[in-house]
Structure 1
C-alpha cells in the first residue's frame, strides 16, 4: 500500500504557492497576448501604441509555454513530494527558494525585453532572428533556477530511500523525479545553444551563428518539453483522479514503467521537428521518427490503466456493460470533470501528433497553422485543463481554505467555456492549415486552396474562439484568487489514491536509477552523436560562431 502523509508542512505550502502566484499571473499576461493575436489575424483589429504582432506572439509563447507551465509544474511537484515523502529540510527548502527567485528574476528580465520590442524572436527564437542579450540571459536564469528546484526534488527522494531502506518509494515522488530528470536532461540542449551560441552572438563576440546547430539543440529540448508538460498531468491521472472517483490505482508497476518509457522515448527524437531541413542525413531522421512513434506505447498503457480504474470503480457502484461506468463518475465534481475532459481532448491531440511526426503526412502540414492548432489541443487543452483541475483542490489545501459549491460550479462553467472556445479556435486552425494557411504570420493574404470568403471565415472563427478562451481565463483567475484569499477557512482534501490490492509487487528494477539514466544517455548518444558531428563538419564556410565550440 502507498504511504500517504497526513499533512503538508506550512513552509512547503508557501513554496508551492509562490510558484502558483507566478504561474497564474503568467496566465493573465499570456492569454491576453493570445487574444490580441487572434483579433489581429481576423483582419478587423489593429494593435494600438505601435505594439508589434510578433512582439505579442513572442510574449504569448514564452509566458504560457515556459513560464506558466514550468512554475505550475514545479509548485505541484514540490507539494506532492512533500505530501507523500515528507517535508523538506530547511537546507533543501533554501535551495528551492534560491531556484524560485532566480527563475523569477529571469522571467522579469526576459519579459522586459520582449515588452520593449527588443526580443520579438518568437517562442522558438530561431536564428537568424536576434534578440537583446537580456532576453537570453533571462532564459538562462529560468533554466538554471529550475535545475536548483530539480536537484532538491532528487535529494528529497534519495533521502526518503535512505531513511526507508527496502521499501517501495512513494509513487508521486518517483514520478516527480522522472519528470525533473526529463527536464534537466532536455534543457541541457537549450542551455547550450543560449549560452554558447546566441548570447555571444547577440553581444557581438561573434559575427555569425550556425543556424542548423541552434535549431538542432533547440528541438533536442523542444520535443521533450511537451512531455515535461504532460507528465504532471499523467501524475494526476494515475494517482489523484482514482482517489477523486473513489477508486484505487490500477497498477503501481504499470504507472512507473510508463514513466520510465516516456523518459526513454521522449528525448532523442528532436529531428522529427526538422524533417524538411537540409544538412541532416535521412537515416537519422527516420530513426528518430521510429523512436517518436514508440511513445505511443506508454500513452496507451496510461489510457488502459485509467479506464481500468474507471470501470472497476463503476462496477463497484453497480455499473453494467462496456460503458456503464460513465453513469457512475462524479461529473458534478470539477476536480474530476476538468482533467477528464483534458483526457478526452488528448485523443485528437495525439492523432494530430502522429500526423506531425510522420515523414510523408508532415509535408502537408509543416509550418502551417495546423501545427499551432495541434499545440493548443495538447498543451493548452489536455494539459491546462488538467492543471486547472489540480488547482481546484491544490490551492485551497495549500492556503487552508475550502473549495465551495459555488466555486465548484464556476469551475464546471470554466471547463465548458474553455472547451468550447478551444474547439472553435483550434478547429479553425486545423482546417486552415490543411488548406495551406501559414504559421507565425499576421497579415498573410495567401488563401491556399480556399476562396477569400472562406479564408476570412477561418480567421474570424479563430478570433471568436480566442475571445471565448479569454473569458475562460478570466473565470479561472477569479476562482484562483477566491481559493487563495477569500474562500472560507477549512481543510481541503489533498486527494492521493492508494494502490489496488490486485496490483502485484513492483519490480525493484524500476527504481534502478543508474540503469535507466544510463539507457537514456545511451539512446541520446546513439541518436545524436554521429549526425551532430556531421552537422559540425559540414558547417557552411565562415560560420564564425562555431569557434566557440
Structure 2
C-alpha cells in the first residue's frame, strides 16, 4: 500500500521535477550514445583515410569490418540510445514516471546494452563484416543477429513504458489535451514498434535459423523487402525526436512560443502515415518486385514532403513572430533576434539548414529515373551524412547542451557554450567538405560501401582522387569535432559548476487555434497506418513468396518454393 501511494505521489509531482533516480536512468542511455559516437567516429576516420589511398589499415583489420562498426555503432546504437534517453526525459517531465515504469526503463537499458555488447563483439572478432544493413546472402555469426534482436526488444520495452506513461496521465486527466511532447514521443514509438516488426520477423524466423544452419537457404528478396519495410521509417525514428526539439524546445530557447500545437500534432500523425509503407523506393532497381507497386510506394514516399513543409513553415513562423514581438521590423529584420551566440539554438539551426539539401537529395533518391543514376553510389552515403549525421546529430548535440546539465545538476557555462559553437562550426565545415565530395563522386559513378583503394592505378581512381582526398580532409575535421563533443559532454556531466539548468519547454501562442480533440484519436491513426501498410505491402510480399526460386523458403523452414 505504501508503494502504491509513493508511485501516485511521484506521478503527480514529476512533470515539474526530475528526480536523481530518474536522471541516472536517462543519463545511462546518453552515456552509451556518446561512447558510441567516439568509437563510431574513429571508425569513420579510418574509412576516409583508407579511401584516400594514403593509409593502410593494420594487419588483421578488414576495411569492411571497420565499415560495419561505423554503421552499426552510429546509425543504430548512438541514435537509438540517445533517442530513448531523450524521450524518457521528455515523458518524465511532462506526464511523470512511476517507480514501476522506471524499473522497466532499466530493463530496457540493460537489454539494449547487452545486445549491443554481443553485436559489437562479433564484429570486432571479424565474424560479422556485413554492414548495418546485413544483406543476405552475406552471413554473420548468429550472435550478431541475436544481439541486434536484443537491442530491438529493449527498445520495445521502452515503447510500452512510454505508452503506459501517457495512458496513466490521460486516465487522471479525462477530456484534457495530452502534453504535446508526450503525444510526439508516443507517435514516434508507435511508428518504431510497427516498423521494427518487419526486421524482427526477418531476423527471428528467417536469418537466425539460416545462420545457425537449421535451414539451408533463405529468400534473399524477402529478407531485403522486410528490412526496408523497417529501414526507411528508421530514418524518421531518428528525425522525429529532432522535430520534437524544433517544435517545442527551440521556441522557448529563443524567447518565443509554439506557433500551433494542432499543426505540430497533425504533422506527426502524417509522418506516422507516410513513413512506413514506402520501403520499396529503396529497391527500385531490384527485379522480382512489380513496378506498379514500386510506383505506388514512391508516391507515398513523396507525400512525406507535406509534413516536412508544415514543419519548416511552423519553425520560421515562430522565428518571425518572436522577432516582430521584440520590435524587429523589415522583411528579414526578425533574423537579428535569434540567439546566434547560444549553442542550444545554433547547433539545431545548422541542422535545419542541412535538411534543405538533404531533403532535396531524398526526393532524387526516391524518384525512379534519377535514382537510377545515383543508386548504390557514394552519393547515397553523402545524402545519409547530410540528413542523419548533420540534421539529426547536430540537433541531438543542441539538446545535450541543456539536457545533460539539467539531469546532472550542473550548468552550461559561457566557456562551454563558446566551445560548443566552435564544435558546431567544425562539424558544419567538415561535413560540407566530405558530403559534397561524396555527392560529386557519386555522380561520377563512385560506388557505395567500396574500398576505393582497390581501384588504384585505374582511370576511375585518377578521376576520383581529389574527391577521396576531400573526404579524408572533411572526415578528419569531423573527428576533431567528435573529440571536442565528447570532451564537452564529459565536462557537462562531471566537471561543470553545480547549479540548475533550464529544461526549456515552450508554451503555445495565445491566439493560436485550439487543438481539436480528434487529433487524440489514437485508434483511428493506428488503424489508418495499418491499412496503408496492408495496401502497400500485401501483394508485393505475396509475389515475393510465391515466385521465390526453388529452395528459397518463404519464412523459416526449408519447404521449397511455395
TM-score band, normalised by the shorter chain? Answer: over 0.9
TM-score, length basis structure 1: 0.98
Structure 2 match to 1:60: 70
Structure 2 match to 1:536: 545
- Following superposition, the deviation at residue 10 of structure 1 comes to 2.1
Structure 1 match to 2:59: 49
Distance 2:454 2:379 in 1: 17
CA offsets, 1:243-288, max 9 Å, x none?
A: 0000000000000000000000000000000000011110100000
Distance 1:505 1:234 in 2: 21
Counterpart contact for 2:50–2:453, Cα < 8 Å? no
Distance 1:419 1:543 in 2: 46
Structure 2 match to 1:505: 514
Structure 2 match to 1:385: 394
Distance 1:530 1:211 in 2: 17
- Following superposition, the deviation at residue 450 of structure 1 comes to 7.7
1:275 pairs, out of 273, 284, 299, with 284
User: CA 1:534 to 1:447, structure 2 compared with 1: closer, same or farther past 3 Å?
Assistant: farther
- Following superposition, the deviation at residue 544 of structure 1 comes to 4.1
Residue 84 of structure 1 pairs with residue 84 of structure 2: no
Distance 1:484 1:343 in 2: 26
- Following superposition, the deviation at residue 546 of structure 1 comes to 4.0
Counterpart contact for 1:206–1:545, Cα < 8 Å? no
Distance 2:378 2:526 in 1: 36
CA offsets, 1:172-207, max 9 Å, x none?
A: 000000010111111101111111111000000011
Residue 106 of structure 1 pairs with residue 115 of structure 2: yes
Counterpart contact for 1:216–1:271, Cα < 8 Å? yes
User: CA 1:135 to 1:493, structure 2 compared with 1: closer, same or farther past 3 Å?
Assistant: same
Distance 1:547 1:69 in 2: 30
Residue 192 of structure 1 pairs with residue 201 of structure 2: yes
Counterpart contact for 2:548–2:554, Cα < 8 Å? no
Distance 1:178 1:274 in 2: 26
Counterpart contact for 2:351–2:391, Cα < 8 Å? yes
Find the residue that maps to 2:139 and give its secondary structure. Answer: coil
Counterpart contact for 2:95–2:182, Cα < 8 Å? yes
TM-score, length basis structure 2: 0.95
Counterpart contact for 2:52–2:453, Cα < 8 Å? no
CA offsets, 1:479-534, max 9 Å, x none?
A: 00000000000000000000111112111111111000000000000000011111
- With 448-457 and 31-40 compared, the bigger mean Cα shift is at 448-457
Q: List runs of 5+ in structure 2 lacking aligned partners.
A: 1-12
Distance 2:323 2:458 in 1: 48
Q: List runs of 5+ in structure 1 lacking aligned partners.
A: none
TM superposition outliers: structure 1 runs of 4+ over 2 Å? 3-6, 443-454, 544-549
Residue 217 of structure 1 pairs with residue 217 of structure 2: no
Counterpart contact for 1:175–1:259, Cα < 8 Å? yes
Residue 316 of structure 1 pairs with residue 325 of structure 2: yes
Structure 2 match to 1:327: 336
Find the residue that maps to 1:240 and give its secondary structure. Answer: helix
Residue 489 of structure 1 pairs with residue 513 of structure 2: no
How do residues 298-377 of structure 1 correspond to structure 2 at under 5 angstroms? 298-377=307-386
- Following superposition, the deviation at residue 96 of structure 1 comes to 1.1
Structure 2 match to 1:75: 85
User: CA 1:246 to 1:547, structure 2 compared with 1: closer, same or farther past 3 Å?
Assistant: closer
Distance 2:93 2:256 in 1: 20
- Following superposition, the deviation at residue 321 of structure 1 comes to 2.1
